[in-house]
């Protein structure tokens, strides 16, 4: 593990003492001492925030520790620290957090100043039974990249409803142009489109409720998968060849004009522009049967506070500092993500239609709510591939998911 001690803060503020049952506010003249911090990002990435924190709070030493995220090393280290009772004061954590919360590892953050602007999906992702356990202010937001020139040449406009989108797919398919370029691993995207707009737009917590055993995959996904099969497989918009497509191939297909659209996140824009510098690229969100808009995306890793933090006052000061507008700008420079509120950051012109969805929390990636996503997500990908290949039915897939969820729970 890489470790660095960075001197940081103190000032007059209200400090908090963390107890297992919640936050008890006490008065304190100063915040000082050592703050232990396990970071998802390495020190060179996080240094601008450490420098700003040091300038404002010179009386706190930050014990900065970083573990690589490769090969699940970070998550394994965090679990080891939790099980051994050695969690740092603050640390990054991935959703879902239900198991960590149930084990009593996490301090509730609802009463902290940093949480006042954290709403919608940002807050819901890290909330368990009405209590929020992590601070997060950024997210990646994606949608449907499309060729603006191809749309204009065919008299097509950005869809306002799901039916509009299907009509666009048919218009391109009838001309011999692939409507949407998909890879074998991104096959769930169109299915999640249906689930996001028809299920999560009405109840953003539905997948968390599946995870908690309150619903089944059969109840929440069978209709979505059947509709996905009817609308995209049975029509021929997606044929068995997509099972073997790599992500690089599908982006190449879109960049070359062999496909009119593809679904992805902001990171793909760089690749598309490298392959087709003059391509007139736009993006639009997922749209539902009644015109509801709820696009793809996921909040970033959040920062939690240990329920047994050794320096809870410094931990609270650090979290509140992260929520300040100027700090959020520094953070956006590190992640390149969309932010929970408009702090004057810039995004690529092509991505501007998604800013409102970032601000409103109108986005979801269902798999982040599954505690067993490492097992279930590959099952969804493989199952949809098998449906396209004609060797599995939607009913069989959801039954397998329910069986595995019950086994792992």
**In a shared domain, residues 89 and 66:** yes
Q: Which tokens in the block code for residue 192?
A: 């999640």
**In a shared domain, residues 90 and 224:** no
Q: Is 372 helix (H, G, I), strand (E, B) or coil?
A: coil
**In a shared domain, residues 114 and 232:** no
Please state whether the peptide bond connecting residue 96 to the residue before it is cis, i.e. omega within 30 degrees of 0: yes
Q: Which tokens in the block code for residue 132?
A: 């929020």
**In a shared domain, residues 127 and 272:** no
**In a shared domain, residues 287 and 148:** yes
Tell me, what's the pLDDT at 81?
97
Asked, for residue 355, whether it belongs to a domain, the answer is: no
Are 125 and 302 in contact by the 8 Å Cβ rule? The answer is: yes
Which of the 8 DSSP states describes residue 196? I
**In a shared domain, residues 41 and 82:** yes
Are 194 and 375 in contact by the 8 Å Cβ rule? The answer is: no
What is the count of structural domains for the chain?
A: 2
Asked, for residue 315, whether it belongs to a domain, the answer is: yes
Tell me, what's the pLDDT at 237?
97
Q: Is 373 helix (H, G, I), strand (E, B) or coil?
A: helix
State the residue range of the domain holding 311: 2-138+299-339
Which of the 8 DSSP states describes residue 393? -
**From CA 222, how far away is CA 120, in angstroms rounded?**
26
Tell me, what's the pLDDT at 72?
83
- CA 177: distance to chain centroid? 31
Place of tokens 């890290």: 126
**In a shared domain, residues 316 and 275:** no
**In a shared domain, residues 216 and 124:** no
User: For residue 40, which of 90, 78, 92 has the smallest C-alpha distance?
Assistant: 92
183 Cβ partners below 8 Å, 6+ apart? Answer: 242, 245, 246, 247, 249, 250
User: Low-confidence residues of the chain, pLDDT below 50?
Assistant: 1-29
**In a shared domain, residues 265 and 317:** no
Supply the CATH number for residue 21's domain.
3.40.190.10
Asked, for residue 161, whether it belongs to a domain, the answer is: yes
- Give residue-wise pLDDT tens across range 101-125: 999 999 999 999 999 999 888 999 9
**From CA 375, how far away is CA 401, in angstroms rounded?**
10
**From CA 351, how far away is CA 96, in angstroms rounded?**
27
**In a shared domain, residues 32 and 53:** yes
Pairing mode, strands 60-66 and 13-19: unpaired
Asked, for residue 350, whether it belongs to a domain, the answer is: no
**In a shared domain, residues 261 and 306:** no
Asked, for residue 94, whether it belongs to a domain, the answer is: yes
**In a shared domain, residues 100 and 67:** yes
How many residues are recorded in the chain?
409
- CA 28: distance to chain centroid? 36
pTM greater than 0.75 (yes/no): yes
Asked, for residue 354, whether it belongs to a domain, the answer is: no
Q: Based on DSSP, count helices (H) and strands (E) in the chain, helices before strands.
A: 16, 17
Asked, for residue 189, whether it belongs to a domain, the answer is: yes
Asked, for residue 351, whether it belongs to a domain, the answer is: no
Q: Is 5 helix (H, G, I), strand (E, B) or coil?
A: strand
């Amino acid at each position: 593990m890489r470790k660095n001690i960075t001197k940081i803060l103190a000032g007059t503020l209200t400090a908090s003492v963390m107890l297992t049952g919640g936050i008890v506010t006490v008065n304190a003249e100063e915040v000082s001492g050592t703050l232990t911090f396990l970071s998802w990002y390495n020190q060179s990435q996080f240094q601008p925030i450490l420098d700003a924190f040091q300038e404002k709070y010179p009386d706190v030493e930050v014990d900065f520790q970083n573990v690589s995220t490769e090969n699940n090393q970070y998550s394994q280290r965090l679990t080891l620290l939790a099980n051994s009772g050695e969690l740092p004061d603050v640390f990054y954590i991935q959703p879902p957090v239900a198991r960590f919360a149930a084990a009593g590892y996490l301090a509730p953050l609802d009463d902290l100043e940093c949480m006042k602007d954290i709403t919608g999906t940002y807050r819901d992702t890290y909330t368990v039974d009405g209590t929020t356990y992590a601070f997060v202010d950024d997210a990646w937001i994606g949608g449907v990249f499309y060729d603006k020139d191809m749309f204009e040449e065919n008299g097509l406009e950005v869809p306002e409803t799901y039916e509009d989108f299907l009509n666009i797919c048919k218009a391109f398919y009838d001309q011999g142009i692939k409507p949407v370029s998909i890879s074998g691993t991104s096959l769930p995207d169109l299915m999640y489109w249906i689930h996001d707009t028809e299920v999560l737009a009405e109840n953003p917590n539905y997948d968390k409720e599946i995870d908690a055993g309150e619903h089944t995959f059969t109840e929440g996904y069978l209709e979505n998968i059947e509709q996905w099969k009817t609308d995209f497989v049975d029509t021929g918009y997606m044929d068995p060849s997509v099972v073997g497509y790599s992500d690089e191939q599908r982006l190449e297909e879109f960049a070359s004009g062999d496909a009119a659209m593809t679904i992805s996140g902001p990171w793909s824009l760089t690749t598309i522009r490298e392959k087709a510098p003059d391509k007139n690229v736009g993006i639009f969100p997922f749209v539902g049967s009644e015109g509801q808009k709820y696009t793809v995306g996921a909040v970033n890793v959040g920062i939690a506070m240990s329920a047994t933090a050794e320096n809870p006052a410094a931990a609270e000061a650090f979290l509140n500092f992260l929520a300040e507008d100027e700090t959020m700008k520094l953070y956006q420079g590190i992640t390149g993500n969309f932010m929970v509120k408009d702090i004057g950051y810039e995004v690529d012109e092509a991505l501007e239609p998604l800013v409102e969805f970032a601000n409103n929390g109108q986005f979801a990636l269902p798999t982040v709510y599954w505690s067993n996503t490492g097992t279930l997500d590959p099952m969804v990908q493989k199952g949809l591939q098998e449906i396209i290949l004609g060797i599995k039915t939607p009913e069989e897939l959801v039954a397998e998911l329910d069986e595995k969820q019950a086994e792992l729970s």
